[in-house]
């Protein structure tokens, strides 16, 4: 599947919002595509997945911290690299390859991010 970009490989507007939010997920924690989408208006989990697949290099976007809702790394090229990066950050996996949401679930964006973006948790979709 081709990822759409604008001009010179610049992210399309929703991707920039996804990347800004993904930067909020700290080392040792993970979020699902759906968790990220829930904080962004008019963005679906699938769109978050497309944005993660198109993550530009060298921009400090911790793409590896976004996994599927089952607590697993989606099976695709690069999944072993993603797991290795997460393990290096202290994220543990059980024998089935699942992350413990109890131990490693991201608790949401910072107050600064919410104020900057005007996000109101009471208005979540």
Lowest-pLDDT choice from 42-46, 106-110, 113-117: 113-117
Q: Which residue ranges form the domains of the chain, and what is each CATH number?
A: 11-107 (1.10.10.10)
125 pLDDT band, cuts 50/70/90, is low
Nearest Cα to Cα of residue 23 among 112, 109, 111: 109
Tokens of 4: 């759409």
Which phi and psi (to 5°) does residue 30 adopt? -135, 160
What's the pLDDT score for residue 19? 95
* Alpha carbons 101 and 92: distance in angstroms, whole number: 10
* Alpha carbons 35 and 48: distance in angstroms, whole number: 10
| 37 compared with 117, residue with greater pLDDT | 37
Nearest Cα to Cα of residue 36 among 57, 52, 56: 52
- What average pLDDT score do residues 67-95 get? 94
The radius of gyration of the chain from alpha carbons, rounded to an integer in Å, stands at 14
Q: What is the model's pTM?
A: 0.85
Q: With 80 as the cut, is the pLDDT of residue 59 above it?
A: yes
Instruction: Write out pLDDT tens, residues 16-48.
Output: 999 999 999 999 999 999 999 999 989 999 999
Our CA angle for 47, 68, 59, nearest 5°, is: 60
66, β-bridge pairs: 31
């Amino acid at each position: 599947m081709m990822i759409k970009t604008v001009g010179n490989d610049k992210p399309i507007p929703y991707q920039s919002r996804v990347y800004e939010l993904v930067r909020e997920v700290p080392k040792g924690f993970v979020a699902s595509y759906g968790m990220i989408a829930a904080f962004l208006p008019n963005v679906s989990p699938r769109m978050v997945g497309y944005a993660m697949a198109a993550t530009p290099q060298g921009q400090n976007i911790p793409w590896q911290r976004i996994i599927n809702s089952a607590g697993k790394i989606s099976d695709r090229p690069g999944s072993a690299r993603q797991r290795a990066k997460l393990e290096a950050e202290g994220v543990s996996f059980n024998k089935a390859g699942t992350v413990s949401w109890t131990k490693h679930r991201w608790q949401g964006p910072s107050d600064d991010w919410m104020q900057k973006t005007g996000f109101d948790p009471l208005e979540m979709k």
